[in-house]
Chains A and B, each alone.
Chain A
Amino acid sequence: MWRGDPSINRYVDDWVAPRLRQRFGITLNAVPGQGAELVNTLVVERDANRRFGTVDLVWINGETFFNLRHEGLLYGPWAGRLPTAAEVDSASPIVSRDFEQIPQGYESPWGTVQFALVYDTARTPHPPETYEALRLWIHAHPGRFTYDQQFTGLTFLKCLMYALNGGVGRFQGGFDSVRYTEARDRTFAWLKEVTPDLWRHGVTYPQDIAQLDRLFANGEVDFAMSNNQNDVVTKMRSGVFPPSSRSYVPRDGTIANTHYVAIPFNAPNPAGAMVVANFLLSPEAQAEKARPEVWGDGTVLKGDTVAHRFAVPEVAPEYSIRLQDDWRARIRR
């Protein structure tokens, strides 16, 4: 799993792991690894004909699921057989579709989040409510806005792409190359127009969200961003962000998505992994995880899902893949 957030690590190591040991005699050993690294590890294990791999359960989302399924690296289907699976809010399109892909029992939902911009009320009492207002704000405050080069920054770019091109509806129903190219050009025109007034004139961008957080916390820029709208609370409580920090969702909408757990094709203990996945889905574990002071991760269970404001779903993973490649080649350069 991604081990980059101390709050999430604490939840897994100090709350989930002891209960798994007590109730099921399962030892949960959380190890670092995410997205592409997981895929690379499993590919190498497959190439080396390793029948029993090194991990039982992986924490993933759409793009990684796309690659793992495409390469046949997942065990399953199994998720529908979990006792708690019946409680999952499968009516929600954000939970039942992972980047427009139907999980088909190869992954089990764990939590939902929504992308949000983070600002400091002391510095920015009236943050821009739309992307057009953001454009004007960037010009009025040169050097005070940027986005990172990784997953969070890419989500920002996708939100922007939807908003500038008539909404997410135009991108749903699978990847359309022509539609993508038009949308990309309009999005890149917006970016190129604001680039001279970005932090460091857009000559360089923060490597990852941790660097953007640092710039925000140290007052070098006025906005951070997060894929989890509640992340700001945990970061304030841990002293990373100033106490006057807040998160918000621009009226044009931001992406809400679900993250999942899956079992690799060569998991040494798939049965144990299913017990863990089922426990992670339990109302008790979901409620604990949703507390802002713990993690602030939205639940995926019926009746409990937080009504996300201005939420838009993910679309086919090819949009993310192409947008990231093209941004690197045409904007970052």
Chain B
Amino acid sequence: MRVAVWIAAPVLIGALYALLGALGLVGLDAHGFTTEHVTHVLGAGSTWRGIGWSLATATVATAAATVVSAALAITFRGTRIGDRVARALAAVPLPMPHLVAATLGLLVLAQSGLVARVLYAVGIIHAAAGMPALVLDRFGIGYMATMAWKEVPFLSVVAMSVIATRGPRLEEVARTLGATPGAVLWRVTVPVLWRGLAPAAIAVAIIIAGSFEGAYLLAPSSPLALPLLTYERYRTIDAARRADAYVLVLLGLTLAALAVAILEWVRARWDVD
């Protein structure tokens, strides 16, 4: 318990400081208790558009990464050399920092990026503008693709571990009871995988939604993703608006806590089942 408190302490202290800042009690231009920053942030359309954009892109990117990871884990679960090589290759981008992944996404997917240059060289497009806008685009296509690609190795490692440790016995039981290969896959393997992967998927979604580097390099300026909006407020030249960043930080923390709470609720229901 004591260790857990120490681990949580920096976040709790930071959250407390953010709360005091949000209420005008500490920080730049603090003039005593006020709810002005809270009402300003909660009443601003940009806040909810930013949260909506961050949650939507994080959800899509996480879903894509989860499906790909599960497929990889199921396809390459064997002990043949090909399976082992495939598993090792899937984990290659794991140590890559998010900043490097985002820079790579930019270099590959921008309108003057590698893909565009190849398409130009083979005559499919005739100018940079002919390449669809995949980065800094409103829908965050390049952002989601890059984030999903970055998270596949982590989720694959988890998925492979889940299948290796929990799958074989239950699948064997199902087969013994006469289940077809399809039934084993959809009624045993996939549910086992999903239950094992869910906590990791939630963690990945929170990481993506809070990722500053990826959003800074790949996300559009409108709507402004939650981490960018928070950073912008934190360093705005308007001293009176800088405490808005504390409110946004608290909103981000609340959303992360909600995601964890939902996961715990779902897990509790699984345990009852």
Report which A residues bind B (CB closer than 8 A).
35-37, 39-40, 43-44, 47, 63-64, 67, 70-71, 143, 149, 200, 203-207, 211, 215, 218-220, 317, 320-321, 324-325, 328-329, 332-333
- Pick the residue among A35, A143, A320 that contacts B129 (CB under 8 A): A143
- Pick the residue among B28, B29, B136, B238 that contacts A325 (CB under 8 A): B238
A47 to B25, CA, bound (A): 10
- A-facing residues in B202-253 (Cβ within 8 Å): 216-217, 220-222, 224, 228, 232, 234-239, 241-242
Q: Are A219 and B28 in contact (CB under 8 A)?
A: no
- How many interface contacts (CB-CB < 8 Å) are there between A and B? 81
- A-facing residues in B1-59 (Cβ within 8 Å): 26-29, 46
Q: Are A67 and B221 in contact (CB under 8 A)?
A: no
How many B residues are at the interface, by size bracket?
20 to 34
* Chain B residues positioned under 8 Å from A218 (CB to CB): 110, 112, 128
* Chain A residues positioned under 8 Å from B235 (CB to CB): 35-37, 40
Q: Are B28 and A40 in contact (CB under 8 A)?
A: yes
A131 to B268, CA, bound (A): 64
Interface centre among B28, B129, B136, B216 (most CB of A within 10 A): B28
Q: Are A36 and B242 in contact (CB under 8 A)?
A: yes
**B133 interface hit (Cβ, 8 Å):** yes
Q: Are B28 and A204 in contact (CB under 8 A)?
A: no
**B138 interface hit (Cβ, 8 Å):** yes
A317 to B112, CA, bound (A): 37
A332 to B50, CA, bound (A): 13
A321 to B29, CA, bound (A): 14
A selection of 26 A-B contacts at a CB cut-off of 8 Å is A35-B235, A36-B237, A40-B27, A40-B242, A43-B27, A43-B28, A63-B237, A67-B237, A70-B29, A71-B29, A71-B239, A203-B138, A203-B220, A207-B221, A215-B112, A218-B112, A220-B128, A220-B129, A321-B237, A321-B238, A324-B236, A324-B237, A325-B238, A328-B46, A332-B224, A333-B222
Q: Are A219 and B128 in contact (CB under 8 A)?
A: yes
A324 to B242, CA, bound (A): 13
Tell me whether A204 and B26 are in contact in the complex, defined as CB-CB below 8 angstroms, given that A143-B129, A218-B128 are known contacts. Answer: no
Report which B residues bind A (CB closer than 8 A).
26-29, 46, 110-112, 128-129, 133, 136-138, 216-217, 220-222, 224, 228, 232, 234-239, 241-242
Tell me whether A47 and B27 are in contact in the complex, defined as CB-CB below 8 angstroms, given that A35-B235, A36-B242, A220-B111 are known contacts. Answer: yes
* Chain A residues positioned under 8 Å from B133 (CB to CB): 200
A32 to B43, CA, bound (A): 34
* Chain A residues positioned under 8 Å from B241 (CB to CB): 325
Q: Are A324 and B222 in contact (CB under 8 A)?
A: no
* Chain A residues positioned under 8 Å from B136 (CB to CB): 200, 204, 206, 211
How many whole Å from A197's CB to the nearest CB in chain B?
Answer: 12
Q: Are A67 and B239 in contact (CB under 8 A)?
A: yes
How many whole Å from B270's CB to the nearest CB in chain A?
Answer: 42
How many whole Å from A331's CB to the nearest CB in chain B?
Answer: 10
Tell me whether A207 and B238 are in contact in the complex, defined as CB-CB below 8 angstroms, given that A47-B27, A149-B221 are known contacts. Answer: no
A39 to B241, CA, bound (A): 13
How many whole Å from B19's CB to the nearest CB in chain A?
Answer: 14
